[in-house]
A and B are shown apart, each in its own frame.
Chain A
Amino acid sequence: MEANAQKAPARISSRTRSERKLAWMLCAPAVIAMLAVTAYPIGYAIVLSLQKLDLRFPELTEFIGLGNYGTVLSSELWWTDIFNTLFIMAISVAIELVLGMALALVMHRAIFGRGLVRTAVLIPYGIITVVAAFAWQFAFAPDTGFVNHLPLISEEMDWFGGRFSSFAVIILAEVWKTTPFMALLLLAGLVTIDSQLYEAARVDGASAWQRFTRITLPLMKPAILVALLFRTLDGFRIFDTIFIMTRGAQDTESVSILGYNQLISRLNLGLGSAVSVLIFFCVFIIAFIFVKGFGVKVDEGRAG
């Protein structure tokens, strides 16, 4: 009995060990692929950001510590771009939440045409962001667009001539493209609510609005937070739509466009990398606020 008791853990761990080995072997390629283009480059970006490095003048390269960060953070352009990015992000995510919720409710309660609605909603998701941006740009362009021919809108309206009218079109394009994703995430939360709860609330005398605010919203809080987290971070990265519509003209540049301009257009790797690292930290802070502040829990580990 003694001997057996001693032997027992050894046998378990040998099986466990081989299971672990297999698991690690299976995971290794994907983990390496994921790290290769994230962890390493962000580390490399930090190194680059500490140097004065302009590919047009490579002979001037030198280590300048946090100098690039100083340059970026003291420039008015950076703070304008941060404002633009957060402004577009906040407004579009807010609209998406309301519209997405409405869409989710329509898809959930639809008495007919559910498949039709779901397909229609997926079209914006499937369409290339650049294509969507062109479509809306053409629609609002004073020469080609049909929007200025609509009633109540001035024929002379130059949408891309002003900062906030440009924002309006950019936000519209963003909302159009990403509301479906929001709606589907919310729908997934909606279907987990037991329909008997609504029946119970009805019997208890709750109105439709009360059922929505007292049952649907509280029970959907986790789903709403996850959807908001994903979309907020996605919104912060906005690039394609602005690039196509204004290229940052009329003070509509986002931080991602700023990074692109420094890195690729001006080939200023040092300054551009500082912008990249700062964007990375902004994203990190947003995620941190969601996870710690709102207690977003994202699915981890084996269920059950």
Chain B
Amino acid sequence: MERRDTRDYAVWSIAIALVLLFALIPVVWLLSISLKPPSEVTDGRFIPASFSLDNYKSLFEGGFSNSPFIKPLINSILIALITTVIAITLASFTAYAIARLEFPGKRLILAGALAIAMFPPISTVGPLFDMWRALGLYDTYPGLIIPYLTFSLPLAIYVLVAFFREIPWDLEEAAQVDGATPFQAFRKVILPLAAPGVFTAAILVFIFAWNDFVFSISLTSSDASRTVPAALAFFTGESSFTEPTGSIAAAAIVVTIPIIVFVLFFQRRIVAGLTAGAVKG
């Protein structure tokens, strides 16, 4: 028995090591490139021969107006945050109605949301490009926030419905018997209990908006609203003869580290959110 346990531990240790290796190699690799001095970026070594922060410095060089990175970073953060706030607000209303109220059209909304989750974004890019230019939304924040809302709402609704359903009905009834109005019951009992779900949905929506590339390169034309993924694709080197590899790696690390920290702290919630309502047989 003793022996068996030791062997089990050995097998699991190897399995876990493999998983960690699989997950972390690209991140470590980017970190390694970003820390190489620009002259050694192309040396192909997995571990830098010497360390330097030059790649990071070049990112922020020229300050707000000339740096190729600062404005896109601000755009990314603001656009993702605004999308998150609006999406979560709208999705909370809808999810509450779906989880708690009886009305015709409920199944239609859920089915429609699901259909949208599977919708190919590229199919809307052309018409949006044309419409946005006509409406003056091309290359603006709202021009990106609106499509992000559309495509993140289904996810947010599904996650929130799953969480709202978890809250026992009788708590709301108990609050009513305790003398609460329906709104008080919602605000003092349902909302605090749904907070973890709301937070989870918010993380997922944020990651979605943060990750988008298709809309960002199609519906923007300048740093006015271009987000980091699209900006990375347009990075240029110091001169037209040098590849921007080092700066891309540094920029990638800057936008990745916060996400990793986030994931570290909230992995339980993210897992719950990603799997909520997805599998019910």
Asked if A and B touch directly (CB within 8 angstroms), the answer is: yes
Mostly, the A contact residues are: helix
Within 102-158 of A, Cβ neighbours of B (below 8 Å) are at 103, 106, 110-113, 115-132, 134-136, 138-139, 143-146, 148-149
When distances are taken between beta carbons in the complex, the residues of chain B under 8 Å from A227 are 278
Answer whether residue A214 sits at the interface, using C-beta atoms and an 8 A cutoff: no
When distances are taken between beta carbons in the complex, the residues of chain A under 8 Å from B277 are 299
Are A259 and B109 in touch, CB under 8 angstroms? no
- The CA-CA distance from A118 to B274 in the complex, in Å, is 13
Are B23 and A146 in touch, CB under 8 angstroms? no
Are A113 and B16 in touch, CB under 8 angstroms? yes
| Residue in B106, B118, B243 whose beta carbon sits within 8 Å of that of A287 in the complex | B118
Answer whether residue B213 sits at the interface, using C-beta atoms and an 8 A cutoff: yes
Interface size of A as a range? 35 or more
- The CA-CA distance from A222 to B27 in the complex, in Å, is 34
Answer whether residue B248 sits at the interface, using C-beta atoms and an 8 A cutoff: yes
When distances are taken between beta carbons in the complex, the residues of chain A under 8 Å from B147 are 37
When distances are taken between beta carbons in the complex, the residues of chain B under 8 Å from A106 are 15-16, 19
Q: How many residues of B contact A (CB 8 A)?
A: 102
Answer whether residue B232 sits at the interface, using C-beta atoms and an 8 A cutoff: yes
Answer whether residue A212 sits at the interface, using C-beta atoms and an 8 A cutoff: no
| Residue in B91, B103, B267 whose beta carbon sits within 8 Å of that of A115 in the complex | B267
- The CA-CA distance from A36 to B279 in the complex, in Å, is 28
When distances are taken between beta carbons in the complex, the residues of chain A under 8 Å from B23 are 120-121, 123-124, 180
* Nearest CB on A from B147, distance (A): 5
Interchain residue pairs A-B with the least CB separation, the first 7: A188-B275, A37-B150, A135-B26, A41-B127, A23-B103, A26-B97, A44-B127
Known: A48-B130, A146-B29, A269-B130. A27 touches B93 (CB 8 A): yes
Answer whether residue A1 sits at the interface, using C-beta atoms and an 8 A cutoff: no
When distances are taken between beta carbons in the complex, the residues of chain B under 8 Å from A303 are 165, 280
Are B29 and A138 in touch, CB under 8 angstroms? yes
Answer whether residue B238 sits at the interface, using C-beta atoms and an 8 A cutoff: no
Contact with A along B103-140 (1 / 0, CB 8 A): 11111011111111111111111111111000000000
Answer whether residue A203 sits at the interface, using C-beta atoms and an 8 A cutoff: no
Are B259 and A36 in touch, CB under 8 angstroms? no
Are B44 and A223 in touch, CB under 8 angstroms? no
When distances are taken between beta carbons in the complex, the residues of chain A under 8 Å from B275 are 184-185, 187-188
